[in-house]
Structure 1
Amino acid sequence: MKFSKLTMALAFSFSGYALAQQASHLPTLQDGSDLEKIQVTGTHIKGVDMEGAQPLTIISAEDIRKSGATTVFELMSTLTQTRGGEGSFSTSQSGATSTSTPAGQAAASLRGLGPSATLTLINGRRIAASSFASGTQNFVDINSIPLAAIERIEVLATGASATYGADAVAGVINYILKKDFQGAEFNAVYGNSTASSDEGSLNLNIIWGDKLAGGDLMLFMDYYDRKDFRATDRQSTRMPVLQSSYSYLSKTPNIYYNSSNVTDADGNYLEIANPNCATPLVKTEFGEDICAYYGNEDDWLETPLESLSAGFTYQKSLGGLDWKTDFFYTRTKSTSYSSPSPINRIDDSEGPFTEETAIDIFPDAIRNQLMDDIYFQRFDTQAGREIWGFMFDGRFATPRTVEIESDAFRLVTSLSGTLGRWDWESALTLSESESDQVAVAGVYNRYKYHAALAGELCSDGSLASYDGENLNCNSGDLLGLYNPFLSGDASNDSILATAQEQPTRKGESRVYGWDLRFSGDLVEFNDDMIRSAFGVEVRQEEITDVPSQNARARFDKGYLVDVFGFGSSLSEAKRTQWGAFAELHIPLTEQLEMQLAGRYDHYDDFGGDLNPKVALTYRPGEDWVLRASWATSFRAPSLTQAGVKLRTTRASFDCSANQAVADLYCEGFGDLRGHNVLELGNPKLQAEESESLSLGFGYSPTRNTSLTLDYWRFDHEKLVDTDMTGVLNRAIADASLRHCGLVPEGQMGISYDPQMCDVTDSQGLTIEQQGANLREILDAWVDYADPRYAELELYRDHVLLLENTGTQTVSGLDLTFDHRLEFASGALSFSLDATHYISYERNKPGSDDIEELAGTWRYPKNIVTARVFWDQDNWYAGLTAYYTGAYEDDIERLRGRELDELDALGELDADGKRDVSAWTTVRATLGYEFDNASISLSVDNLFDREPPKAYGSARGFDSINHNAYGTLYKVSLAYRF
């Protein structure tokens, strides 16, 4: 193995994000001893000089220490390749519903292509995915990987299925665990914000290593605890960013407009505000004053999280064999919150009824006025009574609150040795992730709640029966009427508490694997050797995600989940996969080398896929390296996508993507609408496919200077998702997708208001009949029902299949520069890492039109990290600047009333758009090394920059690309025994 000036420069580059092999092996080159044959991510060939041959980013142990990071996600979020777009996520996006990021979990995604398109490895082998998918994307929870055990991280941001198989569409992140550790080290890190609120975090870890039974043993333990962070903790997020971004569904209910005698000048009925509204009334676009709701008051920007990890690594020589075992176990606990659930009727339609005496709590003058303003009507109760009441519009007062515990472990044991000139290694892998979730507050049974509204709920939670004269409880006592307009009354609150339920969810994910790999010289060629690697792998994966019965939608209950505002997925799947790969490193000339790789994978439930890779490396001199690679990659449908039995969730349709859909369902506006849907797995899903291209060079005129520039491109096809926009568009011509009322069992499509079939087009056809003119149906519906919005009235529980929805093409440039100046007193280092997105094209959901995402909402074109560090003897100091470029705000999806307010504020340009400003934050780092100890201080967002305002987010800022913490500090202490 030879090392040129380029290798030395890259390896010794201070930033640690240089493209090189690990520098810890270089001293053996100085003393003439044998080099250990190392293997870097992106190849299975050991000992090959991969100097600059691929765009490999390495985060070294020194980088981890100086970063001040206390979790893997925090560390990974400093990379330009993982910033930008909606791929990477953390608990700042988590919530209490099934479509949210699972509470307490996080994922790293390369190039914004999504977590399922990034393969996560530990020591080059797989780890079980989280048992709770994010939506339908399975991902590895990187919060389960203990940072204390990591020696370095290798990131290959290019397609790698030819080497590693499925899921490496955007690349590979390989976490390398520590080994050969001698002694003991204790670390403690405390962090908090400089604000008056408490967002404190504490990280404690200890590592011990020594010789044991002729081998090397390392033990580690890591503890992390973080407090929550709420929108109300900061002035910039405490209030709504727009007054018009309100919800009609207040915690103190209003009287629904269909139960109102109050009209505007045109005779349209108006909602009546709750006289006991706890906040100032808001004037709506209809001219009514209502008690409104803003999500800020119930928005947790970061959820509380606690994790404990422990594990070991052990390696020993057994004759001519090397035995290695690594094991870790992690338990995480978190609590997540979502806004209080809306209150609907039993059938999930708007406007639940309450008994007429609900207004008796108001003073006589107000009550008498309400008697005139409210339209009272008779309604049927569950017990079969007909009583007088009125409809209201509101939500519960308590946020939906979920507690989750996750346990993850991973065990890998391997034997390696030599057969002649061949190195071989075989390993067994067992990895498991198990999660238990329980909703502890804010979730109510729809049947019990409506029984309480009618005074038909028994004290044991059962529903009373009616014998024609009296209400009767089989057990327990009959409770009184629950009054949704009465707050702070203990007796009333206890009735509501009887309607509360605690649905649960249990998930398990397992990976069993065996692999065998050979690496060695194949044949002499051009006075050198063709080096090679071959291998086989067998893997079984299984996943289950089982909610309690009260959280499931069932056909026999009209798809209704027993509880309001809480859904989950029921999925169960298992598959066996085997793969075989071959890889060649061919010295075409003294300066030109080629890497050829290919892998075939076969799935028992899906079929096979073959993926090749070709890479060329040209070295015109010892200072230069030119590189190019082409590869294909794939992602088989995840087990969740293949095995979903019935998933209750919310799906959006994008009216900006399809004007025909916008005209029928959005009054012509281009906003984003959400509806309750049921997702079904699709056994006919095809694999997502990707073709990647990478071109670049590296230049190192001196040992202390390096420059790299890489162009990359991904063509990603057959993306898997639900496509409600597309289904709505297809339903315009396909009557089989249109259903008045619930979608019949066994069928797919869109559910419309049951009364929609009461109207016809000019030919006398209803919306369910083939050939019906939906534009004429809409006009007839407006004349017939006089709806508040002139759009086709969607009902609920549309049934959608997961499908291969479209394509995306992403291209960009990565630039790195590192320079180190050495002085007698110390060394000054400069580094720059930058990613520029040239293009991010994707078809709009439900349309063949291609939209350009680069520079639009959440997809900044430019992401830069710049560092300057000074090292002197036993201390260091540095500054790191993180830059996120400007991009378009998500204006086009706002409602008309919000656009009017933005226009009045002067926030829109001549084209009706605005930009989210660029954002730069600075981290200061200072550390001092004693003989057996060290202390460091890091301060994030040194100048306390608030996140740029973003009107496209209800939070008022983009929590994917920015954060609202302000200045954060961390103090770290380490002691070595």
Structure 2
Amino acid sequence: MKMTKLSAAIVLSLGIVPSVSLAQQAEQAAKDVERIEITGSHIKGVDLEGSQSLTVISAEDIKKSGATTVFELMSTLTQIRGGEGSFSTSQSGATSTSTPAGQAAASLRGLGPASTLTLINGRRIAASSFASGTQNFVDINSIPLAAIERVEVLANGASATYGADAVAGVINYILKKDYQGAALNAVYGNSTASSDEGSLSLNFIWGDKVAGGNLMLFADYYDRNAFRATDRAYTRDPVLQSSYSYLSKTPNIYYYSARGGNEIASPDCATPLVTTEYGEQICAYYGNQDDWLETPLQSQSAGFTYNKQFGDLVWKTDFFLSRNKSTSYSTPAPINQIDDSEGPFANESALDIYPDGIRDELLDNLYLDPFDTPAGRTLYGFQFDARFSTPRTIEIQTDALRLVSGLSGALDDWDWESAVTLSKSESDQVAVGGVYNRYKYHAAIAGELCSDGNIANYDSDTDSLSCSGGSLLGMYNPFLMGDADNESILATAQEMPTRTGQSTVYGWDLRFTGDLMNFNDDIIRSAFGMEVRREEITDVPSLNAQARFDNAYLVDVMGFGSSLSEADRTQWGAFAELYVPLTAQLEMQLAGRYDRYSDFGGTFNPKVAISYRPHEDLVLRASWATSFRAPSLTQAGVKLRTTTASFDCSANQAVADLYCEGYGDLRGNNVLELGNPNLQAEESESVSVGFGYSPTANTSITLDYWRFDHEKLVDTDMTAMLDRAITDASVRHCGLVPDGEIGISYDPDMCDVTDSQGLTLEDQGANLSEILDAWVDYADPRYAELDLYRDHVLVLDNTGTQTVSGVDLRFDHRQQFASGTLSIKLDATHYISFERNKPGSDAIEELAGSWRYPQNIATASVFWDESNWYAGLTAYYASAYQDDIDRLRGRELDELDAIGALDGEGQREVAAWTTVRASLGYFFDKASINLTIDNLFDREPPLAYGSARGFDSINHNAYGTTYKVSVSYQF
């Protein structure tokens, strides 16, 4: 292998080797590349640095970053920033559509975490058993940072080499090996604000010769405090007064029960009343008061690597265990009727807490109607609007285990290796607060709950209640705030539903690499191999969190969604890869892989890459590949998943007119999702063209154009189902969707009206616009739209396509001086286009430059390194993009217009954001100290009206200036 000036420069820019003299670096880099396998190829000993666009985070980069978790480390890459694919615990919540608390994922190119293949030492790791939505992902928080030597990122389709999931590329975490000595590292971080968002990280590593081999032990500990929206002035209050919810912690009287047709605020509202678009005054709720921007997180991990040679054989084993504990908080759950419709009933005696004058005035303005209680009584009362006062609080523990053990050796002129893999992720989730049994709660407000948690028995002959165990409690009054006895009754209705999941991967692989044949005075090098893999997943909630048709699809508890899924599959694959020197300057890489799945069939994926070196300083490169993502086990194996699905009124005007009063906002409804064993694999075709140029041995410049065409995306599509329902009566149901069928559920009373031809909603050929007009005349609803009921049933399907293209630019220069080295780096990504079909429509929308998709992302750094210290600055930039204005409510648009926040087209931009990180380190004989200061100039996140938080928590953060102090000692 020839170490050209370009290869040496690129290797140095990737930071694979430690900081020594440049001559030593080049020499050592040549030796390293000869014996290591670079991500993107199974062929060892071939210089592929210039022929593919590979990003490497080196040990030096990890040290200077100040990162204390893998997610913090990965979020610095331009290929991972931008879009909604990557996530952390800042997005965690109580429902199955939320990010599981304490877990995080890295996504390349914004294509989603399930489209990024995560490897450790080139082999797979088990996905989280709790999917994010329906996408299974690898929880990178379970990977111990202390054990990582470097991270290699190939942001191109790589299924021809690695199989499924490498649609957007591969992230390969390379563990340390052959470590000698011992080191202890401690990192403390916090913000400069008065609140305490402190974090503590402890890492230990030890390595030595043991029993004739190299043993390395490592351990990690991390503990982070919570960070709340109320901890910062710019997130404490809502950005728009009109972004309120009617469901306050202090109940409003529901408009159906008010004689004037408008809601009536509770006299005990703790905040100033808000005037709505209907002119009513209500006690409103804003989510900022219960928003945790980061949840508390604690993680622990430990493991070892061991390598030993037996003659011509080398035995390698790596093993680690990790445990993450986190607590997630979500806004308090809405309170609904037993059948989950709006407006629960309270007994008229609930108003007795008010002075006679106030009580009598309230009663004069109310309709008192009969309602049925859980015990079977009929009482008179009124409806109210409210949510519980306690946030939904979910505790989660995830245990991960990974064991890989393999042998390698030589057979004639061929190197071979084979390994077995066991990787497992187990998660347990429990709701410890804010979740209540719907039947017990309604029994409590009717005075029918017993002290043992059972519902009282009602004797109609004597009109009396009795408890078979315990004693009858008093009536819970939702209007009585701060009363200990009243709250103790509510506590009896609390439940602690659980969710348990397990994901397991068993694998065996065999690989050969060596010289295939002489060709053009050179050698064709090759790699061949096969893999067998078994994947299993279960996700089982407790019975009280499951939706069941025999219970009218009602989940026993309010405010806790979960999924029930169980699936497994066996897969085998075989690959071949060739490195062909066509001429002295022209090289070609050919790869192909066939994968066969027990549940959906087989797929073949090829790759062709060409590199041309007209000069030793310049390489021109191009690649084409296809990739695929097999339907996740969650998608294939969902039995029944309770969740909330959004439909986009802006995507389909017919849907907007029938269901959104013509507005283009985003709306949500309770749905049930079913898995689909007939799902097809998602497919992708990727192209990359670029060059690498090295004018000196200390300078490298790379520029690459890339494009992904991604088809057959798997999801449920509520918008499409609503669009289908316009002409297809088979998916229109008055009341619950019958067991075994799919479709949209409408208010049961909607079948009482007909169109001009006498057809009801469920009749084929019915005119839904005429039925809407008849419904408005008949029911006089507050909103002139078809009244959706609940628990629409949708099936996961291959629903969409997306095409993404862009350019990556990388510049790296190191200038050696007598006293030290000056390093200048620039990494930038420009999204040319990000096109995706709108849900429920064939229309294509452009995401690049839209909400959460900045077109330009860049990182620039300058560092000065001397023998015993370094100092540097790193700037992180995300360009401006459109605010999420189209999906706001009409009242919010009116407020924005009134304050002059919108441009002439009714839009606005979220401003560009640049933050600066300062890094300083000093090295002693056996110790070092490092200081990093993030957001050095304390920049507030750009204002975003399209987010209830007031800023985009995906691309920005609200911490302000934070610091981390790291101290390391080598024994």
Q: What TM-score does the superposition give when structure 2 sets the normalisation length? A: 0.99
- 1:208-223, aligned counterparts within 5 Å? 208-223=206-221
For residues 379 and 824 of structure 2, the distance between their equivalents in structure 1, rounded to whole angstroms, comes to 77
Q: CA deviation at 1:304?
A: 0.2
Q: CA deviation at 1:445?
A: 0.2
More displaced 10-residue stretch of structure 1: 472-481 or 768-777: 472-481
Equivalent residue number for residue 8 of structure 1: 8
1:185-243 Cα deviation digits (max 9, x unpaired): 00000000000000000000110000000000000000000000000000000000100
Tell me if 1:596 matches 2:590. yes
- Tell me, what secondary structure is at the counterpart of 2:557? coil
Q: CA deviation at 1:332?
A: 0.4
For residues 78 and 17 of structure 1, the distance between their equivalents in structure 2, rounded to whole angstroms, comes to 18
2:711 to 709, 717, 721: 717
Tell me if 1:510 matches 2:510. no
Equivalent residue number for residue 767 of structure 1: 761
Counterpart AA for 1:917: A
Gap regions ≥5 residues in structure 1:
264-268
1:465 to 417, 437, 457: 457
Q: CA deviation at 1:35?
A: 7.7
Q: Which runs of 4+ in 1 moved over 3 A?
A: 15-18, 20-36
Q: CA deviation at 1:28?
A: 8.8
Equivalent residue number for residue 344 of structure 1: 336
Distance 1:328 1:737, change over 3 A: same
Equivalent residue number for residue 311 of structure 2: 319
| Contact kept? 2:34, 2:47, Cα under 8 Å | no
More displaced 10-residue stretch of structure 1: 467-476 or 682-691: 467-476
- Tell me, what secondary structure is at the counterpart of 1:237? helix
For residues 941 and 568 of structure 1, the distance between their equivalents in structure 2, rounded to whole angstroms, comes to 38
Distance 1:123 1:594, change over 3 A: same
1:415-436 Cα deviation digits (max 9, x unpaired): 0000011000000000000000
Q: CA deviation at 1:37?
A: 1.6
| Contact kept? 1:11, 1:22, Cα under 8 Å | no
| Contact kept? 1:532, 1:583, Cα under 8 Å | yes
Q: CA deviation at 1:365?
A: 1.9
Tell me if 1:273 matches 2:265. yes
1:308 to 300, 309, 324: 300
- 1:23-38, aligned counterparts within 5 Å? 29=27, 37-38=35-36
For residues 29 and 897 of structure 2, the distance between their equivalents in structure 1, rounded to whole angstroms, comes to 71
Counterpart AA for 1:426: S
Q: CA deviation at 1:74?
A: 0.2
Counterpart AA for 2:513: S
Equivalent residue number for residue 406 of structure 1: 398
Equivalent residue number for residue 973 of structure 1: 967
- Tell me, what secondary structure is at the counterpart of 1:307? strand
- 1:762-841, aligned counterparts within 5 Å? 762-841=756-835
Equivalent residue number for residue 632 of structure 1: 626
For residues 205 and 238 of structure 1, the distance between their equivalents in structure 2, rounded to whole angstroms, comes to 35
Counterpart AA for 1:430: L
Equivalent residue number for residue 888 of structure 2: 894
| Contact kept? 1:310, 1:330, Cα under 8 Å | yes
1:862 to 850, 856, 862: 856
For residues 696 and 659 of structure 2, the distance between their equivalents in structure 1, rounded to whole angstroms, comes to 63
Distance 1:716 1:675, change over 3 A: same
| Contact kept? 2:33, 2:46, Cα under 8 Å | no
Equivalent residue number for residue 43 of structure 1: 41
Counterpart AA for 2:200: L
Tell me if 1:661 matches 2:659. no
Distance 1:676 1:860, change over 3 A: same
Equivalent residue number for residue 227 of structure 2: 229
Q: CA deviation at 1:382?
A: 1.8
Q: CA deviation at 1:29?
A: 3.7
Counterpart AA for 1:122: I
Counterpart AA for 1:434: E
More displaced 10-residue stretch of structure 1: 72-81 or 362-371: 362-371
| Contact kept? 1:29, 1:35, Cα under 8 Å | no
For residues 692 and 21 of structure 1, the distance between their equivalents in structure 2, rounded to whole angstroms, comes to 36
2:537 to 539, 543, 548: 543
Equivalent residue number for residue 919 of structure 2: 925
For residues 502 and 487 of structure 2, the distance between their equivalents in structure 1, rounded to whole angstroms, comes to 37
Equivalent residue number for residue 665 of structure 2: 671
For residues 598 and 766 of structure 2, the distance between their equivalents in structure 1, rounded to whole angstroms, comes to 44
Q: CA deviation at 1:34?
A: 9.9
Equivalent residue number for residue 616 of structure 2: 622
For residues 624 and 658 of structure 1, the distance between their equivalents in structure 2, rounded to whole angstroms, comes to 50
1:377 to 332, 352, 369: 369
| Contact kept? 1:206, 1:220, Cα under 8 Å | yes
For residues 363 and 788 of structure 2, the distance between their equivalents in structure 1, rounded to whole angstroms, comes to 32
For residues 274 and 21 of structure 2, the distance between their equivalents in structure 1, rounded to whole angstroms, comes to 63
Distance 1:306 1:285, change over 3 A: same
Tell me if 1:329 matches 2:327. no
Equivalent residue number for residue 284 of structure 2: 292
Counterpart AA for 1:7: S
Aligned length: 969
| Contact kept? 1:379, 1:388, Cα under 8 Å | yes
| Contact kept? 2:185, 2:967, Cα under 8 Å | yes
1:23-42 Cα deviation digits (max 9, x unpaired): 99976947998985211000
Counterpart AA for 2:764: Q
For residues 862 and 313 of structure 1, the distance between their equivalents in structure 2, rounded to whole angstroms, comes to 40
Tell me if 1:77 matches 2:71. no
For residues 210 and 836 of structure 1, the distance between their equivalents in structure 2, rounded to whole angstroms, comes to 46
| Contact kept? 2:12, 2:25, Cα under 8 Å | no
Distance 1:805 1:180, change over 3 A: same
1:540-577 Cα deviation digits (max 9, x unpaired): 00000000000000010000000001110000000000
1:112 to 74, 89, 110: 110
| Contact kept? 2:705, 2:806, Cα under 8 Å | yes
Distance 1:23 1:773, change over 3 A: farther
- Tell me, what secondary structure is at the counterpart of 1:836? strand
| Contact kept? 2:714, 2:799, Cα under 8 Å | yes
- 1:240-251, aligned counterparts within 5 Å? 240-251=238-249
Q: CA deviation at 1:9?
A: 1.1
For residues 76 and 200 of structure 2, the distance between their equivalents in structure 1, rounded to whole angstroms, comes to 20
For residues 28 and 820 of structure 2, the distance between their equivalents in structure 1, rounded to whole angstroms, comes to 22
For residues 873 and 35 of structure 1, the distance between their equivalents in structure 2, rounded to whole angstroms, comes to 26
- Tell me, what secondary structure is at the counterpart of 2:622? strand
Equivalent residue number for residue 756 of structure 1: 750
Distance 1:288 1:22, change over 3 A: farther
State percent identity of aligned pairs: 78
For residues 584 and 92 of structure 2, the distance between their equivalents in structure 1, rounded to whole angstroms, comes to 53
Q: CA deviation at 1:12?
A: 2.0
1:922-975 Cα deviation digits (max 9, x unpaired): 000000000100001000000000000000000000000000000000000000
- Tell me, what secondary structure is at the counterpart of 2:558? coil
1:955 to 949, 953, 958: 949
1:865-890 Cα deviation digits (max 9, x unpaired): 00000112210000000000000000
| Contact kept? 1:12, 1:23, Cα under 8 Å | no
| Contact kept? 1:123, 1:176, Cα under 8 Å | yes
2:487 to 453, 478, 493: 493
For residues 207 and 386 of structure 1, the distance between their equivalents in structure 2, rounded to whole angstroms, comes to 69
Q: What TM-score does the superposition give when structure 1 sets the normalisation length? A: 0.98
1:759-779 Cα deviation digits (max 9, x unpaired): 000000000000000000000
RMSD of aligned alpha carbons: 1.5
Q: CA deviation at 1:16?
A: 3.9
Q: CA deviation at 1:51?
A: 2.9
For residues 849 and 808 of structure 2, the distance between their equivalents in structure 1, rounded to whole angstroms, comes to 17
Counterpart AA for 2:344: P
For residues 293 and 956 of structure 2, the distance between their equivalents in structure 1, rounded to whole angstroms, comes to 11
For residues 894 and 30 of structure 2, the distance between their equivalents in structure 1, rounded to whole angstroms, comes to 74
Tell me if 1:68 matches 2:60. no
